[in-house]
Amino acid sequence: MTDNHDRQGAGVPPVESVQPPRAFTPPQYGQYAPQPGYGANPTQPGYGANPTQPGPGQWAPPPKPGLVPLRPLGFGTLLGAPFQVLRRNPRATLGSALIIQFVIGVVTALIVGGAVLLAVTRIDSASQEDYDSIQAGSTAIVLLSTLIPLAVALVTSALLQSILVIEVSREILGEKRRMGELWRAAGRRIWPLALWTLLQVVVAVLVLAAVVGVIVLLTLLGTVGAVLAVVFGIVAFLGIAVLAAWLTTKLSLVPCVIVLERAGVRAAIARSWRLTDRFFWRTLGTEWLVGAIVSVASQVVVQPISLIFGLGVGVLAPNGTDESGTGSGLPADLLLIGGLYLVIGIIQLVFGAISSVVQAATVSVIYVDLRIRKEGLDLELIRFVEARESGRLAPDEDPFRVAGRV
């Protein structure tokens, strides 16, 4: 073989030693990658690359198709999401709450007010001999008349709860439903929810009746019994408060399970109890803090207006109504006073509707968060969203329904 020295003497350029190509070794974890050369644009993706998709090994944020990101939710998200429900779809949420509360108020005013007017008329026209019996019958009429508004409130409150649970679940998936669609969907689960609400009322009445009965029996024993009645009343009140806080927190997810998983009352109670295991204090704190925020906000607005209107009523009618038709008893003054109280009632109605929406939305968001943490619901929701966007969604598919449950 001719070496380079001989080739140079012959006027032939030397042959450079050729190294075999080296395989590219990517930088290991903790090392710096090679920097691009001068003039290169490191932010510009190559031809055919998708700049929105993270590369291998890069962190990708969880998708957020709607109300909340599809991941375990932080405490701040749990507090903020219920208030965003009002902003995202106020017509369907706040509008439904206002309609339902207005219906309850009108039914109560018409039925109970009519019963009271009838009772007063019967008592005024009663003779001296029949006065006691007519008074007792009139009292019974008034008490029985309250059952109809209670039944209406029971059903309509269940309807509102169902509407808000469905709306929150759809907003999490990035969907926005109209009021009519929500009402039709909520009507399918209204009776199990009404049964659950009735069960709570019955239990509360029975517990209070038992406590009051014991107190009455103790007071019949004399001075010592009266002292025991006072002590028992205080202890019972504290015990009932603690028991109510514990049970309402453990069973707060029952409406969500009834509506979204289409479960019965008994199965919903058991499932809510299991979902809140190990997350009792987090659930209690979130629900109470949201309730306190709404209550304080409503008091900040309502109380000054009530105070101003109360001062206005005192100025317009400092001595009450005047039967002579002069002074402060003029019809214009009475109409203005009635208008002031009407404005206060409307403001209280609006804040009551806002409170209903926010508290029901809080429970719904907590339900989704607990299922994400315990059952990996976020993966099912992501799959559902991807299938919906690609057109591969099966008819009547619902990601919130538990597998195997009809």
pLDDT digits (tens, 9 = 90+) for 144-154: 888 888 888 88
Q: What is the model's pLDDT at position 144?
A: 83
The whole-angstrom separation of Cα 365 and Cα 82 is 7
Q: Distance between CA 35 and CA 58 in Å, rounded? A: 18
Q: Going by C-beta distance under 8 Å and a sequence separation of 6 or more, which residues neighbour residue 259?
A: 161, 162, 165, 166, 186, 189, 193
Percent share of the chain, pLDDT over 90? 31
Q: Evaluate if residue 10 carries a pLDDT over 50.
A: no
**Confidence (pTM):** 0.76
For residues 386, 392, 394, 400, the Cα torsion angle rounded to the nearest 10 degrees is 0
Q: How large is the average pLDDT for residues 96-121?
A: 87
Q: Where in the chain are the domains? A: 75-188+279-317+329-387
pLDDT(4) > 50 = no
Residue pair 184/153 in contact (Cβ under 8 Å)? The answer is: no
Q: Compute the distance between CA of residue 193 and CA of residue 162 in angstroms, rounded to an integer.
A: 8
User: In the chain, what percentage of residues exceed pLDDT 70?
Assistant: 76
Residue range 171-189: mean pLDDT, rounded: 89
Per DSSP, 17 falls in state P
Q: What's the rounded mean pLDDT across residues 7-30?
A: 46
Residue 263's alpha-carbon distances to 165, 250, 254, 369, in angstroms, are 14, 17, 9, 19
